[in-house]
Structure 1
Amino acid sequence: MALTVDEQLALSATEAVAAIHAGRLKATDYVATLLARAAALARLNALTVLAMEEALAAAQRIDALPPDVRAQLPLAGLPIVVKDNINTRDLPTSAGTPSLEGFIPDSNAPSVQRLLDAGAIVLGKANMHELALGITSTNLAPHAGPVRNPYDPSLIPGGSSGGTAAAIAARIVPAGLGTDTGGSTRIPAALTGTVGFRPSVGDGKTQRRYHDPNAVVPIAHTRDTVGPMARTVADIALLDGVITGDHTLPVVDLGHLRIGLPAPLWEGLAKSVESVARDALERLETAGVTFVPVEMPDLLPLNARVGSAIALHEPREDVPAWLVANRAPVQTVEAVAARIASPDVRAAYDAILADRFGGDYYEALTVWRPQLQRHYADTFVGHQLDALLFPTTRLAAVPLDEINGSSKVSIDGAEPIDEMSAYLRNTDPASAAGIPGLSLAAGMTKERLPVGIEIDGLIGSDRRLLAIGIALEQVLGQLPAPVL
């Protein structure tokens, strides 16, 4: 019996592929359903481009394959969205900024191509914070506009991969690709009740899990990575396996897990977020997980020496390298900066152009970043940990600011602080250290807003971290869909 529209919208990525493989769902029907969903929810502004004709044509090709051939495609007929800063050969890659509006690269990013080769279908490009330099996805470029949270369209969805997260939460697609430099897959996942993964970057070379050289409009090569996003951790594992060819998933016994709770990342939380996170801990502890409080006193001080010094210096070389390699319509950082639309992003580019952190860069890269990585390694080894766990963000979604793109926020009435700093505090250290991180849904506040918890692992432990995430998600469950 054919699946109803509601049944199709409820499918996870793994379930959708299984239904197509089993002949219970035609790729063309599924794509048509999701295209209609995207059109009906255009007010969320999750997508910048909807590839209607291309997606339907790709679905027809999947349906025309002999069943035995289709069964060999691990993502046969799976619709996805791709963040607007990731190269796509047939669709524009603008990074949400006016100077790149309408630009179409010559080739797909390797991560995109591997998904396509496995049978995935790109439904469209996902909206984002301009140039990925923000955590709200309130893009003020005329061709983009702000992304809205499906759980409350007056609120931010998080960023910078907010369009991908909003599309997944709204059931426009079951999965997609974002990018993560300081938290850009994990923060929007937390604020939209979805799952976001930042794979290992390590030294940025041999330890990098995803290799997409000059295929993503960059911030900083030491920190940037493509990352899959979905509604379940199993779906993340599916996409990660296709991108890397590493399909192994170790068996995880909750009763044998030792998970650290880093004290600095459990402080200064909104009471509503802490309540949900503590409840999640109790449920996991009841299921057998052993939690180990860990002090990690050097975590935030070390990260402060690493974060901005790298993220606001490396764009001076990385951005023009991408522009030149891809024959973009502009070729310099200055030309990109001249047309930036969002005030918060313009301020970040002012710091980049002035090279305010140039004097700190070498020491950040060669002294403080290795110390931060050792701090993580020593904590894991010293406490015999399988992962670290903490709330992904200090607070749930807040109202979007359509004037500045980002503003100040108050946590439970405290002195207002910079919005980007507030949301980045818990996710940024893992980015700076190059370790893998995974955000999954912990529950909802009394106001019915999603809260995420993050688990981090050591460099190269990606598949084990995903296996742990699957085990935790089986206890915590998934959030109800937003009412739209």
Structure 2
Amino acid sequence: MLATAAHADGAIDPLTLVDMRKALDNGSITSEQLVSHYLDNIRANNRQGQNINALVTLNDNALEQARQWDAQRAKNPGARHAPLAGIPFVAKDNFDSKGLVTSGGSYVLRTSVPGQDAFAIQQLIDGQAILLGKTNMSELAASFGWFGYSSFGGQTLNPRNTRRDASGSSSGSAAAVAAQFAPIALGSDTSGSIRAPASVTGTVGLRPSIGLISRSGVIPLSLTFDTAGVITRSVLDQAVVLDVIKGQDKNDAATLDLASAQIQFVRGLSGASLKGKTIGIVSNFKGANPEVDAVFQAAQQTLKERGAHIVSIALPKGFESLWSDVLGPVGDAEFKPQFERYLATLDASQPRTLEQFVEQAGKNQAQNNEHGMNPARLSGLEAVLKAGTTDSPQVISILTRKIPQLREQLSAIMKQNKVDSLFFATLNCPPSVVHGVTDDSYVCTAGDTYAASYIASATGFPEITVPAGTIKGNLPVGVSFLGRYGEDAKVVSLGYAFLGR
């Protein structure tokens, strides 16, 4: 019987969310067994064993909540349940969680306990999913060279190779899913923070169209580019969760611009196929690592074998410098006012201004203890204190002219080439070596391995990354499908068809 065997021999790990739903509904497994299984995995490899360090906070009530769900099901065994009812999930530590610390990865906010849940967490809880805990992240969602390191949680390691990081900033979320600490992890993505960690851990991540998923209750980095999302083990799992967490939220105006109710993810997988599709192979970002290039080349062959027509597309050079031209200037200008707006929602014991926050971080740094901030991250915060404002001519020009032009230009390129999606290696290099560790096998000649990720960030278009292969060192490589605004279900279905499931 699955209920006993799954918990005893690890048979839970291969289950999809659809499998879990069926098993919970027919009584062959319990929510308590699911939660216990993942807690066992966490105890074995989070702070010992592999020392992945993906989880920074656990929900002490998770087991009891699971037992309560089981008791409710037992009263009405024939009832239909929501897709994720009784199923555990974890959330990046920049999502507000009622009753649990939300640090944003910063030791300064180590005692900050929000009074309500972020919208995306609330959507899951309303559907009776169970929050298992919070995941580590690059501090305040910006890595500054130390991917997956935070002064609150320390360094997250890549479960596939613990000498390498899990990229950033949703490092803990991707590592948690890859290490079987949870089947679902919420993350956020500003300039690649869901897609990069998913790519280097062999998991699936979508950066949705801006407005598909609410950002309310998520510590902001730059709301022009911020979005919430999810990391899962499969595209089917991704679709199941997206159908639950998408939706309009009066507290996030961006969600009011997208008819999310009309975007159906699980239904969109029905009949998913690459046959007859035209895929644009982006040629701009190759050449940084021969092994990654080989996986990308093999992925193109897979597209053809599955019936797709491929065309090569060289994007204008402007798409290679989006950090310096677009994301960097806007992000520097937006962070202070938006972060301070978030700080104003916290209780009086927390800093109220970025200046107060930086002052406290500096004091922690001077103590030279285990909770020191990445020095480059602290310098970055200090620089933002002196940065230009959102009403500077440069930022206004980027927001009102540059970004709309990029959207129009990219849409026109896709239309002219009659492509259903653009296709590229999510990152053109493998995961980098953990700070302080030596690994001479790392090869990367790219100035910025995230460069391709900035296209979706700058335009607000959807991009999904799916596993495409594994290179030397057991390091996964992901490939991305990027579509036009609102084509989220389409790119998810393309990822599903690419994997053949």
TM-score (norm 2): 0.86
Letter in 2 for 1:350: E
CA contact (8 A) 2:296 2:425 kept: yes
The more displaced of 328-337 and 79-88 is 328-337
1:233 aligns with 2:235: yes
Provide the C-alpha distance between the structure 2 equivalents of 1:447 and 1:302, rounded to a whole number of angstroms. Answer: 31
The alpha carbon displacement at 1:136 in A equals 4.7
Match of 1:353 among 385, 388, 397: 385
- Asked if structure 1 preserves the Cα contact closer than 8 Å seen for 2:429 and 2:443, the reply is no
Contact 1:13–1:230 (Cα < 8 Å) also in 2: no
What is the correspondence of 1:394-409 to structure 2 with a 5 Å cutoff?
A: 394-402=428-436
Tell me the amino acid that sits aligned with residue 456 of structure 2: A
Give 2:328's aligned residue: 308
Does structure 1 conserve the Cα–Cα contact (< 8 Å) formed by 2:89 and 2:133?
yes
**Structure 1 stretch displaced more, 240-249 or 108-117:** 240-249
2:64 maps to what in 1?
57
Tell me the residue number matched to 1:35. 39
Aligned CA RMSD, in angstroms, stands at 2.2
Q: Which residue of 2 aligns with 1:461?
A: 487
Query: Match of 1:10, SS?
Result: coil
Which of 275, 291, 298 is residue 272 of structure 1 equivalent to? 291
Q: CA deviation at 1:301?
A: 4.1
**Which whole-Å CA distance do the structure 1 matches of 2:441 and 2:331 have between them?**
25
Match for 2:52 among 37, 44, 48? 44
Task: For 1:197 and 1:146, locate their aligned partners in 2 and report how far apart those are by CA, in whole Å.
Answer: 24
Name which of 214, 231, 240 aligns with 1:211: 214
Verify the 8 A CA contact 2:322 2:458 in the aligned structure 1: no
Q: Which moved more, 1:108-117 or 1:249-258?
A: 249-258
Residue aligning to 2:274? 254
Offset of residue 410 of structure 1: 10
Shift of 1:360: 2.3
- Amino acid of the residue matched to residue 235 of structure 1? D
TM-score (norm 1): 0.89
SS in structure 2 opposite 1:453? strand
Matches for 1:136-285 after TM superposition, within 5 Å: 136-141=146-151, 143-201=152-210, 208-213=211-216, 215-244=217-246, 246-248=263-265, 249-250=267-268, 251-265=271-285, 267-285=286-304
CA deviations 1:354-387 (Å, max 9, x no partner) are 2158552111111111111112111121111111
Q: Distance in 2 between matches of 1:473 and 1:372?
A: 30
- Cα shift readout 1:54-99 (whole Å, capped 9, x = no counterpart): 1111111211123457522110211111000011112110001122
Q: What's the offset of the Cα at 1:253?
A: 2.7
User: Equivalents in 1 of 2:201, 2:79: separation in Å?
Assistant: 33
Q: CA deviation at 1:402?
A: 4.3
Distance in 2 of aligned mates of 1:34 and 1:256: 41
Deviation of the 1:34 alpha carbon:
0.7
List runs of 5+ in structure 2 lacking aligned partners: 247-260, 362-372
Q: Percent of pairs identical after alignment?
A: 30
Specify the SS of the correspondent of 1:14: helix
1:392 Cα shift? Answer: 0.5
Q: Which residue of 2 aligns with 1:480?
A: none
Decide which moves more: 231-240 or 325-334: 325-334
Is the CA contact (8 Å cut-off) linking 1:303 and 1:372 kept in structure 2? no
2:101 pairs with 1:92: yes
- SS for the counterpart of 1:197 is strand
1:439 and 1:452 in contact (8 A); partners too: yes
Q: Would the aligned equivalents of 1:10 and 1:171 in 2 still touch at CA under 8 Å? A: no
The separation in 1 between residues aligned to 2:87 and 2:412, in whole angstroms, is 41
Q: CA deviation at 1:32?
A: 0.6
Aligned partner of residue 36 in structure 1, secondary structure? helix
Cα deviation, 1:202-238, whole Å, max 9, x if unaligned, reads xxxxxx111233x111101111111111000111111
Q: How big is the shift at 1:302?
A: 5.2
Could you tell me how far apart the structure 2 residues matched to 1:296 and 1:105 are?
Answer: 44
State how far apart, in whole Å, the 1-side matches of 2:425 and 2:444 are. Answer: 20
Match of residue 106 from structure 1: 115
Q: Quick one: which of 12, 24, 46 aligns to 2:16?
A: 12
SS at match of 1:380: helix
The 8 Å contact of residues 287 and 293 in structure 2, kept in 1 or not, is answered as no
Shift of 1:21: 1.9
With a CA cutoff of 8 Å and minimum separation of 6, indicate the structure with the bigger relative contact order.
Answer: 1
Within the candidate set 349, 356, 362, 1:335 is matched to 356
2:44 counterpart letter in structure 1? A
Q: Answer yes or no: is the 8 Å Cα contact 2:167–2:432 preserved in 1.
A: no
| Greater mean alpha carbon deviation, residues 456-465 or residues 352-361 | 352-361
The residue that corresponds to 1:481 in the other structure is: none
Partner secondary structure for residue 123 of structure 1: strand
How big is the shift at 1:299?
Answer: 1.8
- Structure 2 counterpart of 1:426, from 427, 452, 458: 452
Say if 2:92 and 2:135, in contact at 8 Å, map to a contact too: yes
Structure 1: where are the runs of 5+ without partners?
202-207, 476-484
For residue 382 of structure 1, what is the aligned residue in structure 2? Answer: 416
Instruction: Name the aligned partner's letter for residue 428 of structure 1.
Output: Y
CA distance in 2, matches of 1:412, 1:174: 31
Greater shift in the superposed pair: 65-74 or 358-367: 65-74
